[in-house]
Structure 1
């Protein structure tokens, strides 16, 4: 029963799902605050995913795009459910890819009415759908005529996800192309159950992680806090870090430009994928940025 109740919370974790049954309140698309104004779109060569990228690729001036593939909250097919967060990352020179369609945000179609009765615990997307974004991006980097030809660094690949999508990130983190993993408000079920149809995880999968991993959890009010903190405690074979703040299971995804967590995520990616020393200062040293931030508790090991 515990696993089922947690799973239901994970499946209802996307902003779109949270708004069902009431008026939809949408933040405007801002383009992010990074050096490259970002947009979201569906690319004709990848029609079942949403792509976030700098609007003007020419503005990169030779800088290569990193890749982040994303698991949606609730493992839903709403590739726009974390659009503020993902746009912010894209505005810092990343190509971000989420499975599904644009089902929330300005211009999204109305949410269909939910049927009465118990809701089936079912993932609408898979970990394979998430990692398909890596395959597509690397192919586009090599394809003649692609807008991305030669613009992507194939060594700068990350996977992340929120809630049920965080489980997809753990599964996909075994992919040898991945260089770092971020797990948001998620973790493998501590009671050993798999109550979400379409996704199977267990603690042994943590051993397949081969890169540094960051867990971000929302305090003890976050239904996934026990799972995520337990995962972090078990991981000893790769460098791992934990950021914990009293923001609940929804984190800061519904805030403009993704709030604090988007800023942490950009710095983590810039540090892990690009070796950026300024970004690393948020996480390293006795006087690190997160060490001095009273809103967040920070731990790390293996670095």
Structure 2
């Protein structure tokens, strides 16, 4: 993962010229230029997030965009049964309408590499959709420039996933809330996520989480309706410098927070089950509860979760 993202950095000057901006989501005209960001403020209706943990189900979708971009998607979702076990394939979905969270993996990675974190989101009451990108995933050709095409991939995946909620006979029919959606991603997936709020703005998104990301190739012209952002970055990141992530954070015009891990590197904290991951998981869950369920109590809990155990600090501008 490291040498490929370094390649992206070396090619940064030419990224914008080598690939056009991501396509607009289906059914939406591509604007001549991104709309200006509006006045900050979460736009979801106030509510209460589930306080119980769910069992977790998992299933696969086989999607392809434009005929030549295969995008297999792993879906983790709240399921019936006892909480706390491993994800059960094709388990029956729990009763309720759940927010949707998109997750974009890093270069040379796969969605399942992040399953410890993503299943915790699902257990907290979110449907998590994680596509495997055709050129930047493990086993792909490793073309770093293809990151610029990934925001459009994510928008396509979101359209197809939300359609499941209206599809007769689908196990997720009636279980998805299309008005409560977030985009998240790590490393190159962080670039993808930033792009969904800048050059490839998808107005269906209410919030974003960027893990070890940079604005390389997608810029910092945050556009459209306010969408709170949470940045998570290790201060010892050896691939994407902490300063690069902080610069993007500083450019966000909306409510925002930055979780900084003084001893954190480029991403091992997301892949294991140690103390750092527990802090990251708890903080991101509370952020998603606030931004997607509109739960004010979650916002109040967020600072304590972020700073528990002295693993991280929080620059809270929410």
TM-score (norm 2): 0.68
The within-5 A match list for 1:244-263 is: 244-245=260-261, 246-256=263-273, 258-263=277-282
1:201 counterpart = 2:218: yes
Are the counterparts in 2 of residues 8 and 121 from structure 1 also a CA contact under 8 Å? no
RMSD: 3.2
1:147 lines up with 2:171 in the alignment: yes
Gaps of 5+ in 2: 11-51, 65-70, 81-90
**What's the CA shift for 1:4?**
6.8
- How many residues align? The count is 247
| Counterpart Cα distance in 2 of 1:164 and 1:45 | 21
1:80 is paired with a residue whose SS is helix
Distance 2:298 2:248 in 1: 25
Write out the 4+ residue segments of structure 1 that deviate beyond 4 Å after TM superposition: 44-47
1:210 aligned counterpart, secondary structure: coil
- Aligned pairs for 1:29-44 (under 5 A) are 35-43=53-61
Match of 2:99 in 1: 66
Kept in 2, the 8 Å contact 1:160–1:182? The answer is yes
| 2:46 paired residue number | none
Residues 256 and 226 from structure 1, CA distance in 2 versus in 1: closer, same or farther, beyond 3 angstroms?
same
* Residues 1:177 and 2:210 aligned together: no
Normalising by structure 1, report the TM-score.
Answer: 0.71
Deviation at 1:122, TM superposition (A): 4.5
Cα distance, 1:120–1:290 mapped onto 2, change above 3 Å:
closer
Contact 1:36 1:59 in 2 (8 A): no
Choose which of 69, 72, 76 in structure 2 pairs with 1:52: 76
Deviation at 1:126, TM superposition (A): 1.4
Aligned equivalent of 2:311, options 262, 277, 295: 295
Matched ranges for 1:89-168 at <5 A: 89-100=121-132, 121-123=144-146, 126-168=150-192
Distance 1:293 1:276, change over 3 A: farther
Match of residue 23 from structure 2: none
CA offset digits 1:167-202 (Å, max 9, x no partner): 11111232111110000011214xxxxxxxxxx322
* 1:73–1:162 Cα contact (<8 Å) kept: yes
Establish whether residue 5 from structure 1 lines up as the match of residue 6 from structure 2.
yes
Find the aligned partners of 2:236 and 2:109 in 1 and give their Cα distance.
28
